[in-house]
Amino acid sequence: MKKTVLLSALSVLFITINSAAQNSLPCDKQATPETINLYNNLKKSLDKGVMLGHQDDLAYGVNWKYEDGRSDIKDVTGDYPAVMGFELGRLELDHAVNLDSVPFDKMRLFIKDAYQHGSVITISWHLNNPLTGQTAWDPSPKETVASILPGGEKNALYNSWLDKVAAFFLSLKGNNGEYIPIIFRPFHELNGSWFWWGGKNCTPDEIKQLYQYTEKYLRDTKGVHNLLYAFNTDVFHTADEYLERFPGDDFTDVLGFDTYQRNGNEQFMQSANNMLATLDSIAFAHNKIPALTEFGYGSLPDSTWWTNVLLPVLKTHTTAYALAWRNAGKKKDGSTEFYMPYKGQASEKDFIAFCNDEKILLQKDAAKEKLYQKH
């Protein structure tokens, strides 16, 4: 009980300090005005609640694709998510569509729409293994990360990939020609070993170097200044484990982790609570923005999961946003993949109650905060 009280007090102190703080700069000291505003307003909005997000929300859902203005979240609640997630995988290969078959030209339109309506945009990158030519999920050989650092045999190739990523970020502009701010989270889940950049597939020092090199290349070589950088692990147990591969305060703005429920409710709640409590303390110590960078419960078999499991967890902690993974819909094996409810899904009514809680913020709530403006 004492630990819970202490962490709650820490969260309150974190919010109070950030709300009262003078405007400060993100890790990119040359960031655009809108990006600086987003950075400061995300900190100041921590006392407002948790902005709810969804991957590929505007692109497709269960039983539909590319219907103008449609969203599974809007179908259920009447509003869009406050955070929109997108993915760059295959951009490095000059493909017209990403690894989830979303056309990059459509993605630009979705991002602009989300920005114009006040939502936050976050982008991940499941880049191919540059050493083997296979997917991001090809973790061998262990020399991959070293091969793309300066002096490595694939450094020039990696730079060419970063050139394409930079061009994409610089193509994202609002109605007045301003660059749209993006929360970029490269090398996510980097404590797990399923990606070539993660876990036992490289040393902690190597992934730190890669993270720093990537950011400096985008920022200093390519002049990309509309990014906030997110560092996120998968499931972790201690602060030391979380920080083992942390690239440093000068290279991060957002701290988060990814977690999916694969066991019972009680076990998930205990694990999520422990990680969020640890994240609270780390974010406070490092003056960063805490976030649940990815979460989900596949197929949502518990009709009251939103209010009985997730909401109590989120209410106990200080979290800027929580991004649910995508509603991929029907798959080749006949199954249906989704992490947010859709019309007629068993947890639909409970999800509405969840979104109606004052702690949960959707797009209209985010728009009221005017996150891209200086306050």
Query: DSSP of 84-113, one letter per residue?
Result: EEEE-TTGGGT-SB-TTS-BHHHHHHHHHH
Query: Which pLDDT score is estimated for 184?
Result: 99
CB 184 within 8 A of CB 192: no
Distance CA 267, CA 247 (A): 30
Contacts of 204 (CB under 8 A, 6+ apart): 244, 245
Q: What is the Cα–Cα distance from 104 to 242, expressed in whole angstroms?
A: 33
What is residue 158's predicted lDDT score, i.e. its pLDDT? 98
Cα 275 to Cα 7, 51, 319, 339, distances in angstroms: 12, 18, 12, 21
Tell me the CATH number of domain 2-369, given options 3.20.20.10, 3.40.50.300, 3.40.50.9100, 3.20.20.80: 3.20.20.80
CB 280 within 8 A of CB 290: yes
Residues labelled as active-site residues? 189, 294
| pLDDT per residue as tens, the chain (375 positions) | 434 444 455 555 555 555 445 589 999 999 999 999 999 999 999 999 999 999 999 999 999 999 999 999 999 999 999 999 999 999 999 999 999 999 999 999 999 999 999 999 999 999 999 999 999 999 988 999 999 999 999 999 999 999 999 999 999 999 999 999 999 999 999 999 999 999 999 999 999 999 999 999 999 999 999 999 999 999 999 999 999 999 999 999 999 999 999 999 999 999 999 999 999 999 999 999 999 999 999 999 999 999 999 999 999 999 999 999 999 999 889 999 999 999 999 999 999 999 999 999 999 999 999 999 999
Mapped onto helix, strand or coil, the DSSP state of residue 360 is strand
Distances (CA, A) of 40 to 178, 235, 370: 18, 27, 11
Q: Are 47 and 15 in contact (CB under 8 A)?
A: yes
Question: What is the pLDDT at residue 16?
Answer: 52
